[in-house]
Amino acid sequence: MKDEIFKKAIETLEKFGHAFGTRTDESNNVAEYKMMITVDDGTSFIFEMEYDKEGELESKFMVLQEDEEGNRVPVSLDQEDSDEMPNMLLN
């Protein structure tokens, strides 16, 4: 893998996975996961997972990009122009 940041991030997630995987049933479990990746052109990708009220795993993905003032603003992935970024379910 060429990108050292991704390599380290994957290693860290694997360590967390191992730590939680070796815990007992009485231990706390991961309830929510959020990850943000920002590339050098100012584009950010946000991924989050959490359990909904029914106990099902829900995933969302969002893209942000820096505007002229350096603020991160949502980027629409729809074909139509939109002021709001829709959350896209991945599962």
Residues 36 and 73 in one domain: yes
Percent of the chain with pLDDT over 70: 71
Indicate if 67 and 81 belong to the same structural domain: yes
23 and 37 in a common domain: no
pLDDT of residue 63: 92
Q: For residue range 30-61, what is the model confidence (pLDDT) as tens digits?
A: 778 888 988 888 889 998 988 888 888 899 98
**Structural domains counted in the chain:** 2
Residue 75 CA from chain centroid, whole number? 15
Query: Residue 89: which pLDDT band, with cuts at 50, 70 and 90?
Result: very low
